[in-house]
Structure 1
Amino acid sequence: MILVTGATGAVGGEVARLLAAEGPVRILARRPERVTVHGPDVEVVAGEYADREALDRALRGIDAVFLVTNSPKEPDDLRVATAARAAGVRHLVKLSMMAVEEPGADDFITRLQRGNEEAIRESGVPWTFVRPRTFMSNTLSWAKGIASDGVVRALYGDSPVACVDPRDVAAVAVAALTGTGHEGRAYAVSGPEPITAREQTAHLSEVLGRPLRFEQLPPDRAREALLAKYPRPVAEAFLESAERQRAGAKVAVVPTVEELTGRPARTFRTWAADHAESFTAADLGV
């Protein structure tokens, strides 16, 4: 059996859905009521990474784990890896980030994920790292501005990124979880093409059937908006990442999705069309 964490998020939820379609899956969730993957072969265990008793319950009889962590302070990767080794887990697939393998990336979040990967390596549990580029779903943060005045506001509208559909990241993770020969491998995962925020805005305009305008945020306004949502180290990490993107550090396209799943990575246009309701729902106040 496979244990999935992060199942209330974009990637973890899709991993759980794909696995549940093929057989039994167990989900560890801090808030079980938010889990949307259900079925006779889906078991949900309530618990947090800091609760070793809950971890032990969730890991009992588990062969492989899909691990998603996001705390900037807690040693959650180490906690899970330690418990997984004690439980005899044979494979841990961690959701990481592509910047980890890039020497020029040295922001707070990237350093944190590098440390998390190292903790898993040192745990003794066979591992696979799935390292995606920026998620296409990050553009959902534009929904309110699109609904209110038809404007997308973002930093550096002309800097391209080979962003990736979270569903494709999940498919790569499932291939690693259910296939053979993936232990000790790190998979960079990108979309099929680099695309700018202005180009994404144009695609959304066509998909939604309404005119949209892109407005580039000055760095000081972008910093202010980020600080209103995140702790300072995290906000500054996002700004550093944006500068790397502006310098062209995120344009590389890798064939991992097709190599591991047998089909090409989805385009942003496809992602936008499949998630149009998530933008129109904002018009209805949903």
Structure 2
Amino acid sequence: MTTLVTGATGNTGRHVVAELLRKGERVRALTRDPEAAAEKLPPGVELVAGTHTEPDTMLAALGGASRLHITVTAGLAQVGPELVRRAVDAGVRRITVVWGGAVGPVEQAVAESGVEWTRLEPQEFMSNTLTWVDSIRADGEVREPYDFPSALVHEADIGAVAATALLEAGHSGRVYNLTGPRALTASERLRILSDALGREIAFTRITHEQAIERLVATGVPRADAEYVVGWYAAPTSDSTTVDDTVARVLGRPARTFEQWVAEHVDRFRDAALSR
């Protein structure tokens, strides 16, 4: 059987692809640019041009697929229910969906699809730490408005849980809150990064409005910027409390932030040191 993965080169999608291939499954990756995707994804994956925000481009990709992985992204809310309908009509019988931070039209359509489904609700991704790369490399500091704990999860664990739910029975109708094994504040994460880099990284507080304007300056719509910074200003209990779902589903401990840092530390080094 074939599994179609949307967002296949993204933060979580590429890990879903890798985990399915590791398990010996047939994987079809939906991508806007198959040639570029071939350089990012492991060998053995079938690459199909298209985008899940344009269901009309997915007819060929859905043909013969019995399982589907969806990552909810910007622009999917309006067309996502149509994507789900077409997938079911094409013969998809099991769906996993990584939510967009709330239960919206796509998540609801999956739950009402009539096929087996699992919704993954990861809290903060460890990969969000990569937004600090430029300031750490250039100035040796990180500037954030808040220092609350976050039970951030390794994106590879999200991919592994998705693959398990796609391949194994017993996950239908489940909603999985996904966290890492420890809640960490920004300053605690910086201490781990500092130790890995062998140099001190400063933590500088900025205002709530400065954080919003910083995102807007990168092209993020103001409403989205306000939502993101607001999430950090008032984190929910789900985002700060460790959940053992990853360990229960995978039968092993969730990956730690220290493991994530070991995999990515070179990206935080000074340009002169990383040549």
Contact 1:147 1:283 in 2 (8 A): no
- The reply on whether 1:38 has 2:42 as its aligned counterpart is yes
- The reply on whether 1:218 has 2:222 as its aligned counterpart is no
2:141 matched residue in structure 1: 151
1:64 matched residue in structure 2: 67
2:224 paired residue among 215, 219, 234: 234
Q: What TM-score do you get using the length of structure 2 for normalisation? A: 0.91
1:104 matched residue in structure 2: none
Contact 2:6 2:51 in 1 (8 A): no
Q: Which runs of 5+ in 1 are unaligned?
A: 100-109
The amino acid of 2:63's aligned partner reads: R
Q: Measured at CA, do residues 170 and 141 of structure 1 come closer, stay the same or move farther in structure 2, by a change above 3 Å? A: same
Cα distance in structure 2, aligned partners of 1:179 and 1:283: 47
- The reply on whether 1:118 has 2:93 as its aligned counterpart is no
Contact 1:160 1:248 in 2 (8 A): no
Contact 2:68 2:92 in 1 (8 A): yes
Cα distance in structure 1, aligned partners of 2:227 and 2:155: 21
67-76 or 185-194, which deviates more: 67-76
- Identity fraction in percent: 37
276-285 or 87-96, which deviates more: 276-285
Cα distance in structure 2, aligned partners of 1:51 and 1:249: 32
Map Cα deviations across residues 66-115 of structure 1 (whole Å, 9 max, x no partner).
11131246524213201111101101100115x5xxxxxxxxxx3xx433
Q: Measured at CA, do residues 50 and 227 of structure 1 come closer, stay the same or move farther in structure 2, by a change above 3 Å? A: closer
Q: SS of the counterpart of 1:161?
A: coil
- Per the TM alignment, residue 194 of structure 1 is displaced from its structure 2 partner at its CA by 0.8
Cα distance in structure 1, aligned partners of 2:76 and 2:168: 33
Aligned residues: 270
Cα distance in structure 1, aligned partners of 2:152 and 2:264: 16
- The reply on whether 1:264 has 2:253 as its aligned counterpart is yes
79-88 or 131-140, which deviates more: 79-88
Map Cα deviations across residues 23-73 of structure 1 (whole Å, 9 max, x no partner).
32100111223321132x311000122544431110111111111131246
1:129 matched residue in structure 2: 119
Cα distance in structure 2, aligned partners of 1:186 and 1:34: 33
The amino acid of 2:57's aligned partner reads: A
- Per the TM alignment, residue 277 of structure 1 is displaced from its structure 2 partner at its CA by 1.7
Cα distance in structure 2, aligned partners of 1:43 and 1:140: 29
Mapping of 1:1-286 within 5 angstroms? 1-21=2-22, 22-35=24-37, 36-39=40-43, 41-72=44-75, 74-96=77-99, 110=102, 113-157=103-147, 159-229=148-218, 230-245=220-235, 250-280=239-269
Cα distance in structure 2, aligned partners of 1:88 and 1:191: 34
74-83 or 264-273, which deviates more: 74-83
Root-mean-square deviation (CA), in Å?
2.0
The amino acid of 1:37's aligned partner reads: L
Cα distance in structure 2, aligned partners of 1:115 and 1:273: 37
Cα distance in structure 1, aligned partners of 2:76 and 2:4: 23
Q: Which runs of 5+ in 2 are unaligned?
A: none
- Per the TM alignment, residue 285 of structure 1 is displaced from its structure 2 partner at its CA by 8.5
- Per the TM alignment, residue 165 of structure 1 is displaced from its structure 2 partner at its CA by 0.6
